């Protein structure tokens, strides 16, 4: 799929391909692999359900391209690309 895996970001660990949540296209689904966030950002992401192994659907981008709307743990969350760039996803 185009837009996936800008080489250096790829962290393939043998099973499934990884990319950053930011790079996923609207309409695709992935499973959270791990976080690169720290501190409050990390806590907020975890609180909102961005926990490892959770499934994420990317629904759409905002009309101006940023933030991104996702569905995780059965509800919808908007997050900026800069935050989505901290979440590593295995897409399914």
CB of 22 to another protein, least distance (A): 13
Residue with smaller CB distance to another protein, 2 or 63? 63
Task: With beta carbons less than 8 A apart as the criterion, state whether 20 and 85 touch.
Answer: yes
Task: Say how far apart CA 3 and CA 53 lie, in whole Å.
Answer: 22
Residue 55 · residue 40 · CB < 8 Å: no
Q: Contact residues for another protein (CB under 8 A)?
A: 37-41, 43-49, 51-53, 60, 62-67, 69, 71, 73-80, 82-83
The H helix count followed by the E strand count for the chain is 2, 6
φ/ψ of 22, rounded to 5, equals -55, -30
- Give the nearer residue to another protein in terms of CB position, either 12 or 36: 36
Residue 26: CB minimum distance to another protein, A: 11
Task: Give least dist CB 15 to another protein, A.
Answer: 19
**Shortest Å, Cβ 84 to another protein:** 9
26's tokens = 């609207």
């Amino acid at each position: 799929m185009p837009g996936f895996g800008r080489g250096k970001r790829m962290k393939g660990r043998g099973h499934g391909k990884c990319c950053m949540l930011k790079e996923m296209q609207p309409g695709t689904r992935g499973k959270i692999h791990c976080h690169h966030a720290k501190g409050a950002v990390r806590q907020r992401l975890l609180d909102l359900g961005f926990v490892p192994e959770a499934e994420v659907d990317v629904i759409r981008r905002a009309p101006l391209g940023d933030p991104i709307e996702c569905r995780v743990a059965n509800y919808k969350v908007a997050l900026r690309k800069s935050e989505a760039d901290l979440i590593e996803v295995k897409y399914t």
